[in-house]
Amino acid sequence: MKQQTATFAAGCFWGVEEDFLKVEGVLNTRVGYMGGHLKNPEYEDVLTDKTGHAEVVQVYYDEETCPYEKLLKAFFELHNPSTIPGTKYKYRSTIFYHTPKQKEIAEGFLKELISAKLYNYKVKTTIVNADIFYEAEEYHQRYLKKLKG
């Protein structure tokens, strides 16, 4: 097994996390905040849209059974990247890459997606270098599963 990390922002992290957990080869997930300027943000801070953070899902996956492209496919299937803002919002559509290889794969995947013209509007997904991941409060982790009991 070769564990890797990927991070995605695609709207409210509760549903995004649940969708990624269904992908074969995903070992674990944690929800949190990334891409902002405030150190150690809390949920109430991020809600203001003034910290610059996105709600993200950090995905830990087995690269041997789940290539990065599989995660990108899931990412674009679980949200409409033409309706979510591209920057400056907690619910933006962003791929945070952790390695140069992830960046290259994400750029190629996005280019093909745009060329395919699957969306009625401009795709607003951004691809940026992953920075500090601030884990969200424990009550946010697996939130939808907790609601179902």
Instruction: Just list the catalytic residues.
Output: 12
> In whole angstroms, how large is the CA radius of gyration of the chain?
15
Whole-angstrom Cα distance, residue 94 to residue 115?
18
Q: Which amino acid is at 133?
A: F
Whole-angstrom Cα distance, residue 40 to residue 26?
26
The H-assigned helical ranges of the chain are 13-21, 43-47, 68-77, 100-116, 143-148
Instruction: Compute CA distances 11 → 78, 87, 139, whole Å.
Output: 10, 12, 18
- SS3 assignment, position 123: coil
Q: For residues 80 and 6, is the Cβ–Cβ distance under 8 A?
A: no
